[in-house]
Amino acid sequence: MVKVLDLLKQKISGPSFEEWFSDTTGFYDPKKSLFVIESSTILHHEWISHRYEKLIRTSITEITGEEKLNLVFSVRKDSSNHLH
């Protein structure tokens, strides 16, 4: 995830990156071609998944070489700001 965030930081303005990605975590499972991005709030989840999905996919492909990636956006379960 760190490499993806570093690449996104180069492609997104500083204030936008800090606002939307500073508290974002994620993991990559190459065996399942799965990349999960976890946000701290439902607002961050919605914003990132709707506004940045294409850029995130492109960045992940640049790093992993994986073109047919399952990208999942979620809200961290330990966050008190998520909805069920």
pLDDT at residue 83 tops 90:
no
pLDDT at residue 50 tops 70:
yes
* Residue ranges of domains in the chain: 2-75
Query: CATH number for the 2-75 domain, one of 3.30.300.180, 3.40.50.1820, 3.40.50.720, 2.130.10.10?
Result: 3.30.300.180
Question: How confident is the model over 45-60, as a mean pLDDT?
Answer: 94
Q: Give residue 47's pLDDT.
A: 95
Q: DSSP string of 17-84?
A: HHHHHTT-EEEEETTTTEEEEEESBHHHHHHHHHHSHHHHHHHHHHHH--SS-EEEEEE-TT-TB---
